[in-house]
Structure 1
Amino acid sequence: MLVQVPVWLWIDEQAWNPHSAEAEVPGGAVSVTATPDRARWSMGDGATVICEGRGVAYVAGRHDPAAASPECGHTYTRASTTQRGGAYDLGVNVVWEVSWESSEGGGELDPLVTTAEADAEVVESHGLVEPTG
């Protein structure tokens, strides 16, 4: 990643699907469904980005590399070279809304949170213009 170049943030479409489980016992059954709701990105440079949804995947050739994400993105303003290991600690928490249904009724449970982390190396790019001739 480069300083001052927009970074697009997204969760893979297959990972952004509801998950359900069912259980049956004599006399009843229950179904629980967890649905992804939002993503909270910790960018490692002190910034937090909250996205209502999975974001839009960047596709080379279809999207302008200088354009900001239409849904979920961040622009680093300094390189990560001063950080431990030369990278920012990038993390994302996905909040899942959880509901249940049974033959006796249904309702909402407390949200669940899943987490993923990665290192994000951010560098500066410098150009040099030399006179010709």
Structure 2
Amino acid sequence: MSPSPDGPVLVHVPVWMWIDGDQWAQQSASASVPGGEVSVTAAPSSVSWQMGDGTTVDCEGPGTPFDASTHDPEESSPDCGHTYTSTGQVQVSAQVRWETSWESDDGEGGSLRSLTTETSQQVEVIESSGVVT
């Protein structure tokens, strides 16, 4: 996330969310037994962010990583973002949906049920006021 969830997030400032590229990658595993081999593949397809304020943000891809050298911090994410409108402690969670399939060395295969992985982070949303002297 940007701003980072390790520090406070400001109310009315756009938050960008994304899954790192090395985490948003197809995963495969194979198993062999005498006479055959089977492979299972899982590919991320979407991510659903529960923002802790009652808002859900559904993203079809990993989201765009915020880069301070090319992005304006006042602009919203082009594909996966949220702006808080009130202060408080919130629990932000990301649920990644994985589409899974299998294939055997004899050419058989097919789809398996989708899987979901989840991670969460406590975030403090605060308000900042300017002082005019």
Farther-moved stretch of structure 1 (23-32 vs 70-79):
23-32
Alignment RMSD (CA, Å): 0.9
TM-aligned CA deviation for residue 104 of structure 1: 4.7
Question: C-alpha deviations, 1:54-93, integer Å up to 9, x for none?
Answer: 001101121000000011000000011xxxxxx2011111
TM-aligned CA deviation for residue 127 of structure 1: 1.4
Judging by fraction of residues, say which structure has more strand: 2
CA distance, structure 1, for counterparts of residue 77 and residue 109 of structure 2: 38
Farther-moved stretch of structure 1 (107-116 vs 121-130):
121-130
CA distance, structure 1, for counterparts of residue 25 and residue 107 of structure 2: 26
Partner of 2:3: none
Write out the 4+ residue segments of structure 1 that deviate beyond 6 Å after TM superposition: none
Partner of 1:106: 109
Partner of 1:120: 123
Partner of 1:63: 71
Structure 1 length normalisation: TM-score?
0.90
Structure 2 length normalisation: TM-score?
0.90
Question: Is 2:32 the counterpart of 1:29?
Answer: no
The count of aligned residue pairs is 124
CA distance, structure 2, for counterparts of residue 51 and residue 95 of structure 1: 11
SS in 2 for 1:122: strand
Report the residue type matching 1:109 in the other structure.
L
Question: Is 2:61 the counterpart of 1:53?
Answer: yes
Percent identity of paired positions between Structure 1 and Structure 2: 52
TM-aligned CA deviation for residue 27 of structure 1: 1.7
CA distance, structure 1, for counterparts of residue 124 and residue 68 of structure 2: 20
